[in-house]
Amino acid sequence: MKRSVTCISVLMLGASCVFVRKAKVPAAPVHEADVLTVFLTGNELGALKPCGCSSGQLGGLDRRSAILNTVPREARLIVDTGALVESDSEQDLIKFNVMVRAFDLLDYDLVNLTDRDIEMVRNLGLLDEIGSVFNVISPRQPADVAVPAKFSKRLSLNGKAALITVATFDAKSGQIEQIGELFATQPDVQTVNILILNHCDTATIAAVAQSVPTVDCLVCPADSDEPRLISDPNSRSLVFSVGRFGRKVCRLRIIPVKDELKLGFGAIPVKEALPQEPDLVQLYKDYQQFVKEANLLEKYWRLPLDNGLEYVGSKPCKPCHAYEYEKWGSKGHARAYATLERVGSQYDPECVVCHVIGIKYESGFISEQKTGHLKDVGCETCHGPGSEHIKTPGAAKTAEPKMRCLDCHTPEQSPDYAGDEQGYLEKIVHWREPNSTDDVKRKGNVKDSM
């Protein structure tokens, strides 16, 4: 793990970094498999781990190994179809590096690099080293990198050689006839040919199936978070997509039936109940450390507030609103920052944004050290910046309670919120009668005319 720390700290300084391929276990006696398994993931889009805001969330690189390691190395191929991160922000650069390290630890055989992935590899100065971490393929052939378009792994199935080939193809600009060349046939070798496409419409799928009958399996870009079988389960080519955010791992089982190889597709949820792999848990802690060192909170893009208003924090409200302050203080919103500290994510803007006051605005939260008074989901998160209101004791109205609970209580972070809005509102009551929750509803209705 130390290696990765130095790596990324060096990267922060703009220099390049050399990955050292970890020593692989020496060739063990060949495992006589009667079934081979290809695991496929992809479109992580930076999701290293679910946020943990609610229970039952799927995903997490640290739990993936529990699925991958159900099959011994001699009987499996592990492939990531690419799109490791979402954008080219500094945080995504850090994430990309962490994912490369994770794939190494998880013993991936192959990673398909999309255009953005190649760009990230280039930005990180890893062009020369990436191929020594795991095998890489790419549908585009950038002038300055030598990345092949296909990869094969030879395994043994029922005492016979089996060759699994994974190729990648740019279906937007390439000629479909070229695909055939990617899959060579060999006498006495059972083959399974998998093609990763960056573009899949029904016409492309049909054209590939027709002109390249040697393709057993087509992997399409994700059109949903869930992996999806697009073709009939028994058809050849089998067509599917791998989903997003690493919530499930696709499993392609290669089963010999008489003289043929049958393919079975499945998707295994990465459940919270699966054990975590310690090396990957540590890797996430390293990630939190890199995020802290990169000072991302300071660099957060902030908008000016209207009318010269400023955030003042929740404490200054206390003298005049002792009742509301005390009520609020007894509930979850007032501990939202401590929650992040508990899990070590208090320097991560992707988390902090919903657990403090006004990070998106000037005078809003920056860091515990600089703006400790703005941590937690404080009064002004909902009532708006209070600088004028406290100066004019109450005469300048606070912004009408925005009631934009949904900004933070999203389906991902707070799946129980939708459908139980009233229940959630009742739990945060900190106002005095007669402002009953019914009153809130009434007020909500006439808000526009106020």
Residue 96 contacts residue 127 (beta carbons within 8 Å): no
Residue 428 in contact with ligand HEC, rule: CB under 6 A: yes
Minimum separation from the CB atom of position 294 to ligand HEC (A): 16
Cα-based angle 208, 237, 138 (whole degrees, multiple of 5): 60
In whole angstroms, give the CA distance from residue 298 to residue 368. Answer: 11
Q: Give which of 51, 39, 59 is closest to 107, Cα–Cα.
A: 39
Residue 151, judged by CB atoms within 10 A of its CB (0-12, 13-18, 19+), counts as buried
| Distances in whole angstroms, Cα of residue 234 to Cα of each of 196, 262, 265 | 19, 8, 10
Phi, psi of 202 (to 5 degrees): -60, -35
Segment contacting ligand HEC by CB under 6 A, of 37-45, 118-126, 180-188, 318-326: 318-326
Name the token pair of 16: 């390049």
Segment contacting ligand HEC by CB under 6 A, of 67-75, 96-104, 197-205, 406-414: 406-414
In whole angstroms, give the CA distance from residue 92 to residue 212. Answer: 37
| Sign of CA pseudo-dihedral 282, 285, 289, 290 | positive
Nearer to ligand HEC (CB atom), residue 332 or residue 372:
332
Minimum separation from the CB atom of position 218 to ligand HEC (A): 34
Minimum separation from the CB atom of position 440 to ligand HEC (A): 4
Nearer to ligand HEC (CB atom), residue 33 or residue 352:
352
Count of residues in contact with ligand HEC, rule CB under 6 A:
64
Residue 431 in contact with ligand HEC, rule: CB under 6 A: yes
Q: Give which of 65, 150, 73 is closest to 112, Cα–Cα.
A: 150
Q: Give which of 393, 299, 405, 380 is closest to 347, Cα–Cα.
A: 299
Q: How many CB atoms lie within 10 A of CB 411?
A: 11
Minimum separation from the CB atom of position 193 to ligand HEC (A): 39
Residue 298 contacts residue 366 (beta carbons within 8 Å): yes
Minimum separation from the CB atom of position 287 to ligand HEC (A): 10
Of positions 177, 427, 436, 441, contacts ligand HEC by CB under 6 A: 427
Of positions 317, 359, 366, 374, contacts ligand HEC by CB under 6 A: 317
Interface of this chain with ligand HEC, residues 158 to 217, rule: CB under 6 A: none
Residue 375 in contact with ligand HEC, rule: CB under 6 A: no
Residue 53 in contact with ligand HEC, rule: CB under 6 A: yes
Residue 335 in contact with ligand HEC, rule: CB under 6 A: yes
Residue 35 in contact with ligand HEC, rule: CB under 6 A: no
Of positions 131, 243, 349, 386, contacts ligand HEC by CB under 6 A: 386
Cα-based angle 192, 197, 203 (whole degrees, multiple of 5): 105
Minimum separation from the CB atom of position 317 to ligand HEC (A): 3
In whole angstroms, give the CA distance from residue 191 to residue 196. Answer: 16
End-to-end CA distance of the chain: 58
Of positions 263, 324, 349, 374, contacts ligand HEC by CB under 6 A: 324
Phi, psi of 183 (to 5 degrees): -115, 90
Nearer to ligand HEC (CB atom), residue 233 or residue 308:
308
Residue 95 in contact with ligand HEC, rule: CB under 6 A: no
Phi, psi of 301 (to 5 degrees): -75, 120
Minimum separation from the CB atom of position 360 to ligand HEC (A): 10
Q: Residues in the site for ligand HEC, rule: CB under 6 A?
A: 51-54, 312, 314, 316-317, 319-321, 324-325, 328, 331-333, 335-336, 339-340, 343, 345, 348, 350-351, 353-355, 377-383, 386, 389-390, 393-394, 397-398, 401, 403-405, 407-410, 413-414, 416-417, 424-425, 427-428, 430-431, 435, 440, 443
